[in-house]
Structure 1
Amino acid sequence: MSTSIMTLPSCIPIPIEENQLKEVIEKTKDWAVMHGIGIRSRTNFSEDSIDFAPFLLLPSTFPRREFEKAVEIQTTLNELMHRVAHNQEFLKETLQGTIQVDEFTGNLYKIWETVMEEGVNQRLSLGLVRSDYMLHGISNKIKQVEYNTISVSMSGIGNGISLCNRFVMEELGHFDLLHNLPENNALTGMTMGLLEAWKIYGDPKAAIMVIVEDVTYNICDQRFHEFELRRLNPRVKIMRRTLTQIYQEGCLTDDNELVVNGVIVSVIYYRSAYTPEQIPTKKEWDARLMIERSQAIKCPSIQFHLAGTKKVQQALAKPGVLEMFLSEPKKIAAVREIFTGLYGLDFDEAGDQAIQMALDDPDRFVLKPQREGGGNNVYGMEIRDAILAMKDTKERTAWILMERIRPPITTGYMVRPGGKNPPDLAEMVSELGIFGVIIGDSQKIMVNRQVGHMLRTKVATADEGGVAAGYGALDSPYLIDI
C-alpha cells in the first residue's frame, strides 16, 4: 500500500463491546435474511434455501462532496454512453482491433453488423446502468472504475442494505447520526425504467422477459425487480428464460415481434449473456441474434452492450474524444476529472509505451479484458507475466491498462455466512456505484435519470470486489465532511 493512502474514521467509535457486538450481529443476520438480503450458496447450492449476503455491520464513511459529485454526474454519463452506443463509426473504429482477437466481443459485433445491414426493427434502447468509483490518493477524489451497461446488479439487495445499516445504527442508539445515511431508492428507480419501456411498447398483453443463467446465485437481487414490477403494476406479465430456452421456444412474427411460448415479449432485460460461459453454443448465439432482430426493447441493445467494453472506456479518455459526444465544456471537464489513466495496447507508439510502463512498474496498473462480472482482471507482478506472454501477439489489443486507484482505508466488521461471531475488525476499501436509467434512440433521449446507489466493500488486501462473484460485501455510505 502507498504511504499516501488515507484512513477514514469509522462512523461510530469502535471496537464495539463484545457481548453487545455478538447480540447485534445475531439480530442483524436475521434482519438480513427476513428482508431478502440473500444469495444462494455456491458451495452448497439449493433452490430451497438462501444464505444472507456478506455485509458490513456498520456503514462505511465516504466524503459527502464526492458522493454528491458522483450522483450529479450520472445523467451526463448516461447521455455520453447513450451517444457512444449510437455512433456507428466510433464503435467500429474503437473495436476493430479487439474483435479480431476477442472471440466473444467479435460475436457480439457480428450480431450488431447483421442487424445494421438488415435494418434495425427497434430503435429505442433501455439502459439500466451503473457507474462505479473508488476514492483515490491523498485528495480522496472519485475516479471511475467502469461503467456497466449489462446485467447491472445490486440495486435490489443494495437498496436493502441501506435499510439494514440504518437498523443497526438505531439498534446501537445512534439516532442522531441517521441523517448522514443518504436515502436510496435504487430498486424502484431501476424497475420504473423497465415499466416505462413496457408502456412505450404499447401492448398491455406483452411480457417483460428476464434473461437468466442456467443457475442463479444472486436470486434475491433479480427477483426483487420482478416483485417490484408486480407491486407497481400487477398486470405486467414477467417471464424468466435462459437463452437456450428462448432458442427452443421463441420465434419472430412476420412483423418481427418476439414471441416466446406463445407470448409477445415487449422488453428484454439481460441478467446474463455477458460472459462466454453464458453463451456457450451456436444455439444461444442464434437466440441472441433473434432477440436483436426483434421489435422488443432491449436492456441493453447490442450496441449499448458493446459501448460498455473496456476498450471504449479507454478510447473515451483520449484527448478530444469526449467533445464528439458532449457539447457543454462544464460537462466535459467534469467527466474528464473522474477518469484515471487509461491506455490501449495497440500496435502503435502509444501501445508500445503502455507495454513498457506495465513492464517497468506493474504494481501501478490493473490489466483489464473486455469482460463483466468480476474475477477477470490481472494485478501486480502477474501483469508483467501476462504482458510478456502477449506483447508480440494480436491478443494484446483486446486488453487495456488502467492506472491503479489507491482508495482510503476504513475499519469495520464484515459479516459473512459461516464466519465467526464476532468477526475481527478488518481494514477495508470501498467502491461506490451510482445507478442510472436512460431510454432513447439515436435522435432523442426520452428518459435520463440518476436513481440510487450501492456500496461494495472488500478487505484492503483483496484485488477483486464483486459480491455475487464472491469477493466483497454489501455496504452503504455514511457521509462525512472532510
Structure 2
Amino acid sequence: MSQARLASCVPLPLENKVLVNVIEKAKDWALMHGVGMRDRKHFNKDVIQIAPFVLLPSPFPRTEFMKAVELQPVLNELMHKVAHDDQFLEQTLQNALQVDEFTKNLYDIWVKVRNEGITQSLCLGLFRSDYLMQRDGNKIKQVEFNTIASSFGAITSNLPAMFRYILRSMGYGDIIKNMPENRALSGLCAGIIEAYDLFGVPDSLVLFVVEEVSYNICDQRFHEFHITEARPDIMVIRKTLCEIYEETELNDKKQLLLEGKPVAVVYYRSGYEPAQYPSSREWDARLRVERSSAIKCPSIHYQLAGTKKVQQALAIPGALEKFMGAGASSGRVRDIFTGLYSLDFDEAGERALEMAIADAERFVLKPQREGGGNNLYGEDVREALLRMRHSRERAAYILMERILPPLVSGYVVRPGAPVPPPLTDLVSELGIFGVIIGTKDKIYSNRQVGHMLRTKLADANEGGVAAGLGALDSPYLLDM
C-alpha cells in the first residue's frame, strides 16, 4: 500500500530564484532568533550555526492536533500514577532488569531511596508525548512518552514567528492564521518556577544537569534566560553529574547544598543514556540528588515510568483501566496506541518474536533508551531477533508495530548544505509538552503547555534533531 500524501501549505516546487532568496532570509532569521546549535564536527563554544529546519510549515490535521493537545493532561496524570505504583513498576521491569544494566542502576537507586524513606515527595514532570499519523485515516498514534530531558520546547516556541515571516515575505500572509501559537518555553519554565515556590526556601537554587559538552545549547539556555527574566530572585546554575559529585553535599536536613545554598529544583538535561554515566561518580551524584530534599525533574521513578517496557505494559488489556478506570478517558488513550508487544520468555513473547521474524518490515525493535538513534528497523529487526532468540537479552526490548505517516513535499535547510536543497518527501512527528507537579496523593498542577514538530526525510528511520537526523518544524493546521 502506498503512503498517503498531504498537500503543502503553498504550491511547490518554488521557482529557483525565489527559493534561494527565501532560504537566505530564513537562515538569517533563524540565527538572529536562536534557532541554532553548536557544530558537532567542528565544535567551538564561540560559534552557533542554524539548527536544521524545514523551510515551510508542515500540514497536520487540526482535529488530530487538538486531540493530542486535549489528551496531554490525561497522559500526564496517567504517568504520574504509574510512577507512584511500586508494584506495577517492579512487575513490569523485572525481566528487563536482568539484562539491561542501565535500567537496573536507575532501579537500584529507586529501591535504595524508598528503603531509606523518600525525603521529597513532590515531583515535577516536564513531559512530552510524541505522535506520528497512521496513513489509514491520518489518525495520531503514540510513538513514545518522554519523561526526562524532553527537548526543543524553547527553540520551537520561536518557529511560528519564523514561519509567519517566511510566508508573508512570499506573499502568503493570508494563511498564517492556520499556524497555532506555541508557548512551550514559558509553560515549561512556569513549571520549574512553580516547583521552586512550592519548595519554599528563600535564596535556594535551580540546578540544570547538563552534558560535558552541550551542542543543543540554545534550547537549554533559553530556559535559563526565561526563568531569570521572569524571576530575578531565582539563580540558575548548570553542572554536570561529575561536578555535582565533586561540588555538592547533603546537610542534616537532607538539603542538597551547592555553593553553600540549598537546591530547590534539579532539572535534568542529561542523565538519560548510559554514556552519560561513564564512572561510579556520576551514579553516586544521581543517588545523592535523589536522596535529597530537592524537587527532581524527573524523579527516578518518573524516569522509570518513561521506559519503553512500561509503554508496552500499558497497552495490555486492562492495564489502562487499572489506573484510569473504565470510562471514556481510558478509551481515548487506548485509541492512540499502536501494536506493542513484549519479548519476554513466555507464550506471548514467543508469538511476538515469530511474528516479527516472519514480517520484520511491519515492526520497530525498541530498547529502554532515550535520545534517538537506538531503534532497529526492517531487516535489522529480523537479524537481531534471530541472534537474541534464545538469549535473555531480548527481554530488554519491546516490539512496536511500525507507523507509516502521510508524506508531504518540502525543503530541509541544513547548515553547510548546498543551496537550494532538493524538494523531497518528508514525514512529521508531533510532540505535545505537559507539566505536572504533585505527590502520590495530591496533584498541584497538570496542564498542556505547547508543542513541537520534528520532520525527517521519508526514507530515514530516525528523526532526532539533536542527533542530526531530523529538522525543526511547526504545524500548519488543515481542516480535513
Which range, TM-score by smaller chain?
A: over 0.9
Distance 2:151 2:241 in 1: 19
Q: Distance in 1 between matches of 2:405 and 2:344?
A: 29
Equivalent pair of 2:365/2:400 in contact (CA under 8 Å): yes
Counterparts of 2:255 and 2:36, CA distance in 1: 36
Q: How does 1:20-99 map to 2 (within 5 A)?
A: 20-99=18-97
Paired position in structure 1 for 2:280: 282
Equivalence for 2:429: 431
Deviation at 1:474, TM superposition (A): 0.2
CA distance in 1, matches of 2:297, 2:168: 38
CA distance in 2, matches of 1:322, 1:206: 39
Matched residue of 2:105: which SS? Answer: helix
SS in 1 for 2:212: coil
Residues 176-220 of structure 1, C-alpha deviation per residue, up to 9 Å, x if partnerless? 101100011000000000000000000120000000000000000
CA shift, 1:18, in A, is: 1.2
- 2:265 counterpart letter in structure 1: V
Cα distance in 1 for partners of 2:354, 2:443 equals: 42
Match of 1:146 in 2: 144
Is contact 2:164-2:173 (8 Å) kept? no
Q: Which amino acid aligns with 1:28?
A: A
Structure 1 position 376, deviation (Å): 0.2
Q: Which AA in structure 2 matches 1:206?
A: S
1:248 aligns with 2:246: yes
Pick one of 344, 347, 359 that aligns with 1:346.
344
Corresponding residue SS for 1:478 = strand
- Equivalent of residue 6 in structure 1, options 4, 13, 28: 4
Q: How many angstroms does 1:263 deviate by?
A: 2.2
CA contact (8 A) 1:410 1:428 kept: yes
Question: Is 1:260 paired with 2:252?
Answer: no
Instruction: Say whether the 8 Å CA contact 2:99–2:395 is kept in structure 1.
Output: yes
SS in 1 for 2:354: helix
Q: What are the equivalent positions in structure 2 for 1:318-357 lying under 5 Å apart?
A: 318-327=316-325, 329-357=327-355
Residues of 2 paired with 1:84 and 1:407: CA distance? Answer: 29
Deviations 1:116-173 (A, max 9, x none): 0000000011000000000002211000000000001000111112221121111112
- Kept in 2, the 8 Å contact 1:204–1:236? The answer is no
Matched residues in 2 for 1:248 and 1:480: separation? 52
Deviation at 1:328, TM superposition (A): 5.6
Deviation at 1:435, TM superposition (A): 0.3
Q: What SS is found at the alignment partner of 1:231?
A: helix
Deviation per CA, 1:199-250, whole angstroms, max 9, x where unpaired?
Answer: 0000120000000000000000000000010111111000000000010011
- Cα offsets for 1:80-118 (capped at 9, x unmatched): 000000000000000011111100000000000000000
What SS class does the counterpart of residue 340 from structure 1 fall into? coil
Q: Give the TM-score, by structure 2 length.
A: 0.99
2:14 corresponds to which residue?
16
Q: Give 2:215's match in structure 1, choosing from 214, 217, 221.
A: 217
| Residues in 1 aligned to 2:258 and 2:451: alpha-carbon distance in whole angstroms | 34
Q: Is the partner of 2:228 in helix, strand or coil?
A: helix
CA distance in 2, matches of 1:397, 1:474: 34
Deviates more, 1:280-289 or 1:163-172: 163-172
* Structure 2: runs of 5 or more not aligned: none
Are residue 205 (structure 1) and residue 178 (structure 2) matched? no
**Counterparts of 1:380 and 1:54, CA distance in 2:** 26
Distance 2:258 2:228 in 1: 20
Give the secondary structure class of the aligned counterpart of 1:101. Answer: coil
Return 5+ residue gaps in structure 1 as ranges.
none
Matches of 1:397 and 1:38, distance apart in 2: 39
Select the residue among 119, 135, 138 that pairs with 1:137.
Answer: 135
Aligned-residue CA RMSD in angstroms?
0.7
Determine if contact 2:271/2:277 at 8 Å carries over to the other structure: yes
Alignment-derived partner of residue 468 in structure 1: 466
Structure 2 residue matching 1:434: 3-state secondary structure: strand
User: Where does residue 188 of structure 1 map in the other structure?
Assistant: 186
> What residue number does 1:107 align with?
105
Partner in structure 2 of residue 125 of structure 1: 123
SS of residue matched to 2:420: coil
The 3-state SS of whatever aligns with 1:182 is coil
Structure 1 position 28, deviation (Å): 0.8
Would the aligned equivalents of 1:210 and 1:269 in 2 still touch at CA under 8 Å?
yes
- What is the CA distance between 1:327 and its match in structure 2? 2.6
Matched with 1:381 is 379
Q: Which position in structure 2 is the counterpart of 1:448? A: 446
Q: In structure 2, what is the Cα distance between the partners aligned to 1:331 and 1:418?
A: 47
The offset of 1:463, in angstroms, is: 0.2
Normalized against structure 1, the TM-score is what? 0.99
